[in-house]
Structure 1
């Protein structure tokens, strides 16, 4: 058995407190996806600045520090909106319905949709809007939300923008121009690096290359190839099975299959090479854990004791 809220499967007070605060079912779905996985993916795949994606995620998880939220956390005694003094300041109120920003939305392309959207939480409103507009319009929508929240903060902290509408247009332009800006300053996410050439191991060594893949929501596969110092494939194994374990577990399972194959064939000097740096580092660390990946890694360490020499590499 292992403690699933912790990555190493070992209980800590912090993880216990986190689970108690969020609840068992909500804790599982929020951490591992569940029914909300599609929404989380859409947020982190928004084609805008990283700060915009972070804002949307914080708004959807209820992490923005509105007065209502601060009152719930016993930071403030009063959760009333200080800008309109009409109702409790929730995230939805602060961004969409406070008189301080409502005119921005009334003049936006989303005025009619906002009137029809569910308003219990930003998450529900975002998810509803995602089903009503295309990706380009959704990006514009969250840019408006980011702008109104930023304007709210400028007023609350007594440093208001000189012109609210010009400031909102500036946010929209920033998001629209992000792609060209990111390219110009070279902050685009780096593409996955693929090594074009393979180098044979030193004389007398067998190199194990392993990899894993998620084929669909219900099936996965792992594979391993063993080559000698001439680059000749000795054996190769592939295994496909039902289920979708975490990628780190799959990569560890692929490495274990390769090491197991090398041991079964009686090789004494083995190199294990994988593109899963986290798995290689975990094997090297000799860290003890109870999570599923730790159990697989323990098997690899145990089998490596049977070799005369055993080396680890990642690329």
Structure 2
């Protein structure tokens, strides 16, 4: 075992750090790694492993499908590079090596991590399109592939930067204890919960007046799995819709998702589900000028968090005016 681990037999020289430092999602970076390790099952690779198959590219059906062809030479791929705004990278003389691995390593050595990330996302989209054509006979146009790659990368980059900024702002302590709203205002705390194994995403929200008394609340769950930030965004939009339903027009909404609150005030736009709901929230706030959104720590959001977890024990949609037993002690404590 010591010989195998210490051996150079399986070591491939190259700029591997450049791949893992690329500004892109893990799935896109992993595809670059597989490409450079020769792990992608192109038809030429399958033939090398003695798998009998048609060698023609499943997308264009004109050339033998190897890594260079499917990602760099196929007409669909080349037009996708252009649609993604990366034609200058594709045609750069420094990246015309005879194999895909050397091209990727050259890009990692000469381009910024952002550009390498965009390339990684584009190659992932090209590979997905190839598989969709092969298995489902469904194919996108190069323009669709390129634009989707750019939009997907932009959305990932926006959220990633927001998360990084949130983590770096350690001096912004945020509220660690719930505070009563000002006279004439209502405060609505919102949170989301995910119960492992249930496949559900649940929301809890609670409206309280300036004395800390519960005015109303709502819980809801859906039989769907969302990302954490998507769930938080859906919960906030639901809270605003409930405030409108109840005729409340001076409401301060509190969420413990810094990424969500930053996205709202930075007015981030994009095609992801997260940013699409953020856009709906921004539109809501433009119609209700006295709707405010504020970030608080989890400790100051315990009522909403408890409701979100309890939601799975109730009907899928549950409104209440009386205090549920599960939050009674928390509310009484925060009224003091």
When normalised by structure 1's length, the TM-score is 0.45
Larger helix proportion of the pair: 2
